[in-house]
């Protein structure tokens, strides 16, 4: 039957978006997308109230360092606000190669490639090197950007239990030794704060011919000499083929990096769709990351303060009997186990002027619903005292 000119066809996709349950819940309870009105270090203003930030990834607290702010402004003055082009065509600048050389030297790698987001870099680190027919072995708790990389690669994926070398060994038992394989892990898991069991995992990977990709978004700046990260912490640089990460955490900027041998990075520059068809990192962001990298090497007090604060903060939580999922790093979850408890705890902290982030299943495994907190080198003793009092109050509200 011919459709009447006056019958408007319903667009199924618009209907699905409008009916989305998760979006409706988000808009009803408003736990996310808070637009802060002001910020100065760990102090933020939200809905007219002064609050403490306890969930940013500014581990070393460099986002308000005068040298970083100055470099950021100067970057735009010298180079303009954007290259408005991809690296392969009109977007490459001397500041990209300078930052790449600096990062590569710091990490003890031959070469580095930077891009506009950690998400893009880490996704491309997997998607570029794996292909259909390969087997990817990935930790169950890896970040969404690595999962997207796996999907884009069209390789077959097997997930092993979180940070569990024995499970990985079992899976690999029946896989032909010379089949193309990739092992994908994080250096520090962002929700759990766990450090990768790299010595065992890398050894199994090596014994089975796995190409190893490690995303150190949360280990960089936090572990290793001067913050060189998880691989340096274990002195296993030669075991990791691709070390990628983000510049939006300890480097107090935005953007991401992929490092490896020169041959691998040149292969990525030829084959990564995320690199070929996306505009280059802006000058101000590159300058901020570069200045942070200098500070990491010249001002050790930030890393020392980060670990002092981490120790104190963990003691506070332990004293209150809170479950921190055995976090070993400044990323400290408070596991409460259900979204209702998480919501109440989060609200109680907010009431006392402490801003945190809720993370509920499926973003975390079922039963591990948690408040994601992260301590920074910028938190003062007074901040930590206030945080301790707020935590005590939240515990009493449960």
Q: Classify each residue of 10-47 as buried b or exposed e, where b means 16 or more C-beta atoms within 10 Å of its C-beta.
A: eeeeeeeeeeeeeeeeeeeeebeeeeeeeeebbbbebe
Size of the site for ligand PLP (CB under 6 A): 14
Distance CA 287, CA 300 (A): 20
Binding of ligand PLP by 246 (CB under 6 A):
yes
Binding of ligand PLP by 259 (CB under 6 A):
no
Nearer to ligand PLP, 215 or 232 (CB): 215
φ, ψ (nearest 5 deg) of residue 155:
-75, 165
Ranges within 32-51 binding ligand PLP (CB under 6 A)? none
Could you give the count of Cα atoms lying within 13 Å of 234 in the half-sphere of its Cβ? 21
Ranges within 129-168 binding ligand PLP (CB under 6 A)? 143, 145
Report in angstroms how near the CB of residue 65 gets to ligand PLP at its nearest. Answer: 18
Nearer to ligand PLP, 155 or 252 (CB): 252
Report in angstroms how near the CB of residue 148 gets to ligand PLP at its nearest. Answer: 10
Nearer to ligand PLP, 63 or 208 (CB): 63
Q: Which residue has the tokens 């955490």?
A: 249
Among 221, 256, 260, 330, binds ligand PLP (CB under 6 A): 256
Report in angstroms how near the CB of residue 374 gets to ligand PLP at its nearest. Answer: 11
Could you give the count of Cα atoms lying within 13 Å of 19 in the half-sphere of its Cβ? 6
Among 56, 190, 327, 359, binds ligand PLP (CB under 6 A): 190
Reported residue count of the chain is 398
Contact letters for ligand PLP, residues 211-230 (x by CB under 6 A): ----x-xx------------
Nearer to ligand PLP, 123 or 168 (CB): 123
Distance CA 292, CA 196 (A): 25
Among 186, 192, 241, 383, binds ligand PLP (CB under 6 A): 186
111-115: strand order across its sheet? 111-115, 256-260, 242-246, 210-215, 181-186, 135-139, 156-160
Report in angstroms how near the CB of residue 217 gets to ligand PLP at its nearest. Answer: 4
Ranges within 89-118 binding ligand PLP (CB under 6 A)? 117-118
Report in angstroms how near the CB of residue 3 gets to ligand PLP at its nearest. Answer: 45
**Position with the least CB separation from ligand PLP:** 118
Report in angstroms how near the CB of residue 38 gets to ligand PLP at its nearest. Answer: 22
Q: How far is CA 374 from CA 276, 280, 348, 370, in A?
A: 34, 30, 18, 13
Alpha helices in the chain (DSSP H): 12-18, 21-29, 66-79, 94-107, 118-127, 144-153, 165-172, 198-207, 230-233, 262-271, 273-276, 283-298, 301-319, 339-351, 381-397
Report in angstroms how near the CB of residue 145 gets to ligand PLP at its nearest. Answer: 5
- In the structure encoding, which two tokens stand for residue 152, read together? 């884009």
Q: Are 214 and 24 in contact (CB under 8 A)?
A: no
Nearer to ligand PLP, 65 or 218 (CB): 218
φ, ψ (nearest 5 deg) of residue 284:
-65, -35
User: Cα-atom radius of gyration of the chain, to the nearest Å?
Assistant: 22
Q: Which span (17-25, 46-54, 210-218, 235-243) binds ligand PLP, by CB under 6 A? A: 210-218
Report in angstroms how near the CB of residue 47 gets to ligand PLP at its nearest. Answer: 25
Binding of ligand PLP by 248 (CB under 6 A):
yes
Among 60, 72, 112, 122, binds ligand PLP (CB under 6 A): 122
Q: Count, in order, helices (H) and strands (E) of the chain.
A: 15, 14
Q: By the criterion CB under 6 A, which residues form the site for ligand PLP?
A: 117-119, 122, 143, 145, 186, 190, 215, 217-218, 246, 248, 256
């Amino acid at each position: 039957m011919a459709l009447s000119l006056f019958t408007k066809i319903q667009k199924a996709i618009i209907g699905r978006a409008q009916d989305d349950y998760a979006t409706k819940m988000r808009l009803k309870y408003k736990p996310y997308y808070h637009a802060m009105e002001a910020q100065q270090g760990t102090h933020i203003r939200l809905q007219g109230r002064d609050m403490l930030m306890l969930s940013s990834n500014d581990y070393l607290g460099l986002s308000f360092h005068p040298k970083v702010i100055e470099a950021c402004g100067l970057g735009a003055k010298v180079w303009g606000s954007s290259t408005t082009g991809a690296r392969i065509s009109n977007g490459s600048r001397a500041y990209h190669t300078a930052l790449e050389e600096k990062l590569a030297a710091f990490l003890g790698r031959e070469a580095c490639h930077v891009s506009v987001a950690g998400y893009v870099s880490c996704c491309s680190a997997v998607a570029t090197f794996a292909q259909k027919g390969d087997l990817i072995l990935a930790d169950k708790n890896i970040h969404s950007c690595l999962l997207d990389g796996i999907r884009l690669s069209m390789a077959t994926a097997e997930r092993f239990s979180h940070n569990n070398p024995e499970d990985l060994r079992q899976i690999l038992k029946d896989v032909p030794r010379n089949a193309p394989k990739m092992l994908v892990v994080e250096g520090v898991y962002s929700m759990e704060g766990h450090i990768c069991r790299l010595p065992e995992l890398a050894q199994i990977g090596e014994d089975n011919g796995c190409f190893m990709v490690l995303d150190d978004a949360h280990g960089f700046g936090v572990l290793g000499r001067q913050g060189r990260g998880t691989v340096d912490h274990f002195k296993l640089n030669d075991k990791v083929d691709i070390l990628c990460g983000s510049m939006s955490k300890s480097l107090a900027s935005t953007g991401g990096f992929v490092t490896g041998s020169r041959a691998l990075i040149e292969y990525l520059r030829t084959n990564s769709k995320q690199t070929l068809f996306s505009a280059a990192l802006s000058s101000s962001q590159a300058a901020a990351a570069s200045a942070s990298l200098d500070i990491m090497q010249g001002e050790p007090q930030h890393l020392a303060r980060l670990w002092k604060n981490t120790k104190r903060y963990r003691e506070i939580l332990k004293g209150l009997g809170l479950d921190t999922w055995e976090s070993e790093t400044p990323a400290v979850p408070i596991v409460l186990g259900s979204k209702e408890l998480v919501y109440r705890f989060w609200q109680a902290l907010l009431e006392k002027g402490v801003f945190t982030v809720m993370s509920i299943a499926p973003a975390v495994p079922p039963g591990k619903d948690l408040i994601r907190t992260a301590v920074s080198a910028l938190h003062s003793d007074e901040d930590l005292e206030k945080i301790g009092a707020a935590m005590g109050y939240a515990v009493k509200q449960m």
